[in-house]
Amino acid sequence: MSVTQAAAYAAPAPKAPLERTTVPRRPVGEHDVLIEIKFAGICHSDIHQARDGWGEGIFPMVPGHEIAGVVAEVGSGVTRFAVGDRIGVGCLVDSCRECEYCLAGQEQHCVRGATGTYNALDRGGEPTYGGYSTHLVVDENYAVHIPEGLSLDAAAPLLCAGITLYSPLRHWQAGPGRKVAIVGLGGLGHIGVKIAAALGAEVTVLSQSLRKKDDGLRLGAAHYYATGDAATFEELKGRFDLIVSTVSAPLGLDRYLSLLRVGGALVNVGAPEEPVELNLFSVLGGNKTLAGSMIGGIAETQEMLDFCAEHGLGADIEVIRAEDVNEAYERVLSSDVRYRFVIDASTI
Q: Are strands 86-89 and 67-74 parallel, antiparallel or unpaired?
A: antiparallel
- Residue from 8, 9, 34, 45 that binds ligand NAP (CB under 6 A)? 45
Nearest residue to ligand NAP, using CB? Answer: 186
Residue (99 or 319) nearer to Zn ion, CB? 99
Q: Which stretch binds Zn ion (CB under 5 A): 155-163, 169-177, 213-221, 272-280?
A: 155-163
Residue 164 binds to ligand NAP (criterion: CB under 6 A) = yes
Q: Are strands 260-268 and 289-292 parallel, antiparallel or unpaired?
A: parallel
Residue 34: closest CA among 102, 83, 77, 68? 83
50's CB contacts (< 8 A; 6+ apart) are 11, 14, 15, 18, 57, 61, 63, 329
Q: How far is the CB of 84 from Zn ion (least distance, A)?
A: 27
DSSP state for residue 242 in the 8-state scheme: E
Binding mask 108-127 for Zn ion (x = CB under 5 A): --x-----------------
Distance in angstroms (rounded) separating the CA atoms of residues 230 and 255? 10
Residue 43 binds to Zn ion (criterion: CB under 5 A) = yes
Residue (81 or 166) nearer to ligand NAP, CB? 166
Q: How far is the CB of 98 from Zn ion (least distance, A)?
A: 6
Q: Answer for the pair 285, 254: CB distance below 8 angstroms, yes or no.
A: no
225: left (phi over 0), alpha (psi -120 to 50) or beta: beta
Distance in angstroms (rounded) separating the CA atoms of residues 40 and 60? 18
Residue 18 binds to Zn ion (criterion: CB under 5 A) = no
Binding-site residue total for Zn ion (CB under 5 A)?
8
248 binds, among Zn ion, ligand NAP, none (CB under 5 to 8 A by kind): ligand NAP
Residue (210 or 271) nearer to Zn ion, CB? 271
Residue 301 binds to Zn ion (criterion: CB under 5 A) = no
How would DSSP label each residue in 122-160? -TTSPBP--SSBSEEEEEGGG-EE--TTS-HHHHGGGGT
Distance in angstroms (rounded) separating the CA atoms of residues 283 and 244? 15
DSSP state for residue 12 in the 8-state scheme: S
Q: How far is the CB of 57 from Zn ion (least distance, A)?
A: 15
Q: Which stretch binds ligand NAP (CB under 6 A): 44-52, 148-156, 217-225, 254-262?
A: 44-52
Q: Which stretch binds Zn ion (CB under 5 A): 90-98, 165-173, 198-206, 318-326?
A: 90-98
Residue (162 or 264) nearer to Zn ion, CB? 162
Which residues of the shown chain bind Zn ion in the complex (CB under 5 A)? 43, 45, 95-96, 99, 102, 110, 160
